[in-house]
A and B are shown apart, each in its own frame.
Chain A
Amino acid sequence: GAGVSQSPSNKVTEKGKDVELRCDPISGHTALYWYRQSLGQGLEFLIYFQGNSAPDKSGLPSDRFSAERTGGSVSTLTIQRTQQEDSAVYLCASRTNRRTEQFFGPGTRLTVL
C-alpha cells in the first residue's frame, strides 16, 4: 500500500518568507508526527497529532512554527518569516494506535537563503 508522502521534496526560500510543508499519512493511521533533522543531527520532535485530541505542540521551537491536521488525515506544517537556522529536513511520520512503529515519509529538505 501507499506509504507516507510529503511535498515538496525540496524547498528553497528566502529569509523572511513563509513556507508550507505537507504530509499525507498512511490511510487509517491516527497518529501523526512532525520532526526536524539538521545535518548530522538526530530527529528533533516538533508536534504530535492523535485523532481528535489537542495536539502536543511542546517541540515547536518558536511561535513562527505551527501545524494543523484537517479531517484527521493530511497535515500542514507552516513556518512563518523563515530564518537560516530553519534549514533542515522536515520529516513526517504516522502510526496506528496499536503499534509503536512509526512510518516515515521521505522528508522535505528546506533551505533558507
Chain B
Amino acid sequence: RKEVEQDPGPFNVPEGATVAFNCTYSNSASQSFFWYRQDCRKEPKLLMSVYSSGNEDGRFTAQLNRASQYISLLIRDSKLSDSATYLCVVNTRDNFNKFYFGSGTKLNVKP
C-alpha cells in the first residue's frame, strides 16, 4: 500500500469555482503534512504546510483529519493560474527527515 494516495484527476473547473482535493495517508505515525504545487515540466514548490487546527492562506485552506488519516486542500475563487498538479506530502515521527509524496492531483481551471 502506498504511503500517500491521491485522486489523479484531472479536476476541470471554471474560473471562480471552489474545488477541493483529498489525500489519504497510511501511516498513523505521520507527523507533518504539506501541499506542494508542481507546474507542468517544472519542479515542485511548497504551497502550504498543514497544521492540526487547519490553516488558511488567502484563497487556500488546508485541513487535517487525523482520525480518518486524510488531509484536504480547498481552493476558492479559482484562477487560471491555479492550473497545476497538487502534491500531498507527509513525513513520520520515526523518520522525520524522509518525505513521502503522493502522485498528485491535476487541476485545470478553464476560462
Contacts and interface: CB of A to CB of B under 8 A. Distances in A.
Given A50-B97, A56-B97, A41 B103 contact: yes
B24 to A, nearest CB: 14
B78 to A, nearest CB: 23
Size category of the B interface is 20 to 34
Contacts of A101: 34, 46, 49
Contacts of A106: 42-43
A33 B97 CA distance: 10
Decide if the interface of chain B is mainly helix, strand, loop or mixed: strand
B101 A42 contact: yes
Contact of B87 (A42, A45, A58): A42
Interface string A83-108: 00000000100000000111011110
Contacts of B44: 43, 91, 104
B54 to A, nearest CB: 18
B102 A45 contact: no
A40 B97 contact: no
Sorted nearest first, the 6 A-B pairs with minimum C-beta distance are A42-B103, A104-B43, A43-B101, A42-B101, A101-B46, A42-B102
22 contacts: A33-B99, A35-B101, A42-B4, A42-B87, A42-B101, A42-B102, A43-B44, A43-B101, A48-B97, A48-B98, A50-B97, A56-B95, A56-B97, A58-B98, A91-B43, A91-B44, A101-B46, A102-B46, A102-B99, A104-B44, A104-B45, A106-B43
